[in-house]
Chains A and B, each alone.
Chain A
Amino acid sequence: MEAVLAILVGLFFAGGIYLMLSRHIIRILLGVVLFGNAVNLLIFTNGRVMRGVPPIIAEGLDVPAGAVANPLPQALILTAIVISFSFFAFLLVLAYRAYQQIGTDDTDGMRVAEPVADGLPPMGY
């Protein structure tokens, strides 16, 4: 089962990275979302998968009865989902504000911090 998921993860990564290599800020953002999902699935698959049984202990028992899904990756991913969502929201607003201010969504046009014609540093003493 993991094999198929692994290939799916590869696809997610490829799609995300392809978008992130773009110069359009919005495509980069979409790519980041895909990338985030890919990483989450990577962790999920890494902890081995099994069908159906959530890691919940039945009433009256001290330990789960029989085999259950691995709880550890789930806990990690839960944190990751929330954090990546909040960053996605932040980046989105940031990109939006940058677009408003600079008037372009092309990363080559966003050069306030690194202007194109820097020229040579002063040559005197």
Chain B
Amino acid sequence: MLPFVGALVAPLLTRLMKHNAGWLLAAVPLTVFVHFAGMLETMSSGAAVSNGFDWAPSLGLRFSWYLDGLSLTFALLISGIGTLIVIYSGGYLKGHAQQGRFFSFILLFMGAMLGLVVSDSFLMLFVYWELTSITSFLLIGFVHGREASRRAALQALLVTGLGGLSLLAGLLVIAQVTGVNELSSLLASGDILRDSPLYLAALALVLGGAFTKSAQFPFHFWLPNAMEAPTPVSAYLHSATMVKAGVYLVMRLNPVMGDTAAWETILPLFGGATLAIGTLLAIRQADLKLMLAYTTVASLGLLVMLTGLGSDKAVEAASLYLIAHSMFKGALFMVAGLIDHEAGTRDVTKLGGLRSAMPITFAAALMAALSMGGAPLFFGFLAKEEIYAALGSSYAWNSVAIPVVVVGNALMFAVAFVVALKPFLGAPTKTPKPAHEGPVALWLGPVVLGLSGLGLSLAFPLAHRLLSSPTASAIAGKAIDVQISVVPHLGMPLLLSVVTIALGIAAYLVQDRLRAAMAASLKAIGWGPDQGFDQALRGLLRLAAGLTRIIHNGRLDVYMTVTFVAVATALLVPMVLFGELPDMPSVPAFRFYEWGVLAIAVIGVAAVVHARSRLTAIVSLGIQGFAVALLYMLFGAPDLAFTQFMVETLSVVILALVMTRLRLAPTDHRPLGQKLLDMTIAAACGTGFALLLLKVTQLPFDDRLSQFFAAYSKTIAHGRNVVNVIIVDFRGLDTLGEIAVVMVTGLAILALVRIRSKKTEAPATATEEA
């Protein structure tokens, strides 16, 4: 929770202390780091802490957390690197007008990410998952003046957000199958999920979330674009932490979902493809950050692949590589940012000879690159040895997997040294800014991370006991003891390592040619998911616009037609389908004047429909109205008749007043086809209503309510006219509402009339004023 508080106070602190606020704010993640570090000893014995409190007990939701080796390692990485990043961004964004906002976002993200890795309940996991997407959106779009930033931010949000929805669906399926909604109980549930027929659906949905978040092929495109963000963000979110959320999820679910044919096919396949594509694209880049971004994609692929293999060695390798990668990649990103900050460019072809100007940076970069390349003595070496050991053990796809991994690692080695050596060696080149060593806030991060990569591997027994083994155990779901030592010993893994390094050096030497070759072949392909994203978005907009134009076309007659077709369908179809048609009525014995009134009404309606002049229309409207009034009178409703007479008279008068000024086209404008269509619709509706009414009147009548009013209107309400009593007494409030409606319409009419008079008067007053 601490980071959220930190996010709140960050803008204020920054206003007070300028860029130095970074040092103070770094205390927040540092506290978290120390807190989690204190739990290392407990966790190393394989224990897990879980706790929480009820959130919405009626829904079975708890706000609960769960900590084991895996969560703890992640939490340490997040808070540890976070500390360095906060300090780093204090220097990097020195003097930026919105630095406070930046700190706030970074801390917000940190809180979300920590929440994600310690979440126990599915709901919390999902909420924090989405929170990281949102904070990532805010951070990528931090330089919101640039279109590329906005595009990258939106792209990241859409891709990871859609993945988040997929994850939610997956979690719901899991909860449905197993009946639990907490990770800790899920991990204890054994084979229930694996044996369920819904296993594949749950797997696909969860992986949809994990793959988008961790930028697996073919969703990898958002990650390099996210490099539009300021470098601290790239270093923190898009290499060390957030993109690992997908990997975390896969590792977390390995004990309950892993060890099946689908798991061991899909994960290595996608992971391997991502690894290959990531490294190939990385070598093509000239921009330091983009190179690193693509190697991040590749590393994530490697992690997913290792988790998918599922053997003990592979899991050990995954946990070692996870830790190593966070440290060296974070450091290298910070170095790239540092070079950019001090030299003014991060185009590797324009950089050279910085070693004397920036010695500390050079040293840090070298340490990180050695770890990334997997050179002996560094933590990356341990990871690499373990990876090859894992691949060396029997696995069906070895013949494909080993070359992919070897080439991938070799290319990563090359890229590492392109970043760490190329800018520093050789003859000094002219850079946009005269290069010099950055301030301590900037080089502290890379140095600490580089040194810890070295330190952790030299103190490998301790590191294994506290970090690697608990992590690997949590991933595998059983106790695993990581053994690998820093002293190389002969065997298959070492041989592969040597091959890798040799290949890597070769690739480094021919980097320019490789870059050109990759660029040419990419040009030949010409299309990638990145353009696909643009096309998809444009297509979506077009679809929305087209749909709006069809449905919401602004033509009243179309709306009306659709409405009445629906009405006719609703009236007629059920009646015919369910055989509810009324019986044939017999012709009743009407008196002659009753027939007369009916005839007048029919003639009135027909005349209105066919009216060709204003006068005919008004008169015939009056005729049908009066005929209706007569009907009311004949059938025992004098009050109605009276009201109808008054209203009809008023209507005719108002119509006569207004219509004399309105043009009524003498003939109906509609073409014959349209006319026929409208007639059919109208006739269908009319028939529907008539049939419905016939059917209703043929059913027995429930007159209890009418009896009630008749019985009580005198005794209770002391009125003899039952209709009047109902209106003013039993339903008095309704009548009040009715009067209010009439009043409001009256006011509205008045307003409408007044607007006109004002408009006509306006020019007159204007001239007077002039």
Contact = CB atoms under 8 A, between A and B. Distances in A.
B601 interface: yes
A85 B650 contact: yes
B141 to A, nearest CB: 10
B494 interface: no
Interface in A67-124: 68-72, 74-75, 77-79, 81-83, 85-90, 92-97, 99-100, 105-108, 110-111, 113-116, 118-121, 123-124
A49 B594 CA distance: 13
B422 interface: no
B640 to A, nearest CB: 6
Interface string A13-28: 1111111111110111
A27 B590 CA distance: 33
A55 B689 CA distance: 27
A50 B594 CA distance: 13
A105 B662 contact: yes
A76 to B, nearest CB: 9
Contact of A88 (B651, B681, B731): B651
B637 A54 contact: yes
B742 interface: yes
Given A17-B686, A22-B557, A44 B749 contact: no
Interface residues of B, number: 109
B644 interface: yes
Interface in B538-595: 538, 541-542, 544-545, 548-549, 552-557, 560-561, 564, 585-588, 590
Contacts of A44: 632, 635, 637, 640
| Most A-side CB within 10 Å, residue of B601, B639, B661, B701 | B639
Nearest to A41: B628
A64 to B, nearest CB: 6
Contact of B697 (A2, A87, A100): A2
Interface stretch (B44-52, B98-106, B198-206, B709-717): B709-717
B685 interface: yes
B694 interface: yes
Given A79-B727, A79-B738, A17 B682 contact: yes
Contacts of B661: 96
Interface in B654-690: 654-655, 658-659, 661-665, 668-670, 678-679, 681-683, 685-687, 689-690
B425 interface: no
Decide if the interface of chain A is mainly helix, strand, loop or mixed: helix
Contact of A56 (B601, B681, B721): B721
Contacts, number: 292
B91 to A, nearest CB: 30
Contacts of B644: 81
Nearest to B696: A46
A82 B742 contact: yes
B753 interface: yes
A54 B715 contact: no
Contacts of A70: 703, 706
Interface residues of A, number: 99
A59 B720 contact: yes
B636 A4 contact: no
Contacts of B662: 26, 95-96, 99, 105
Given A15-B682, A17-B564, A99-B662, A125 B703 contact: no
Interface stretch (B147-155, B244-252, B351-359, B411-419): B147-155
B605 A21 contact: no
Contact of B151 (A49, A50, A125): A125
B586 A3 contact: yes
B609 A15 contact: yes
A17 B748 CA distance: 26
A37 B606 CA distance: 14
Given A3-B694, A33-B651, A56 B669 contact: no
Given A6-B697, A17-B564, A96-B658, A125 B150 contact: yes
A81 B647 contact: yes
Given A46-B696, A56-B721, A89-B749, A21 B564 contact: yes
A6 B147 contact: no
Contacts of A90: 745, 748-749
26 contacts: A1-B588, A1-B590, A6-B694, A10-B686, A10-B687, A10-B690, A13-B682, A15-B609, A20-B564, A23-B669, A26-B662, A28-B556, A42-B689, A49-B636, A55-B721, A59-B720, A69-B635, A71-B709, A74-B639, A82-B643, A93-B753, A97-B752, A115-B554, A116-B554, A125-B150, A125-B154
Given A58-B720, A85-B651, A96-B661, 6 more contacts: A27-B664, A30-B611, A30-B621, A51-B636, A71-B706, A97-B755
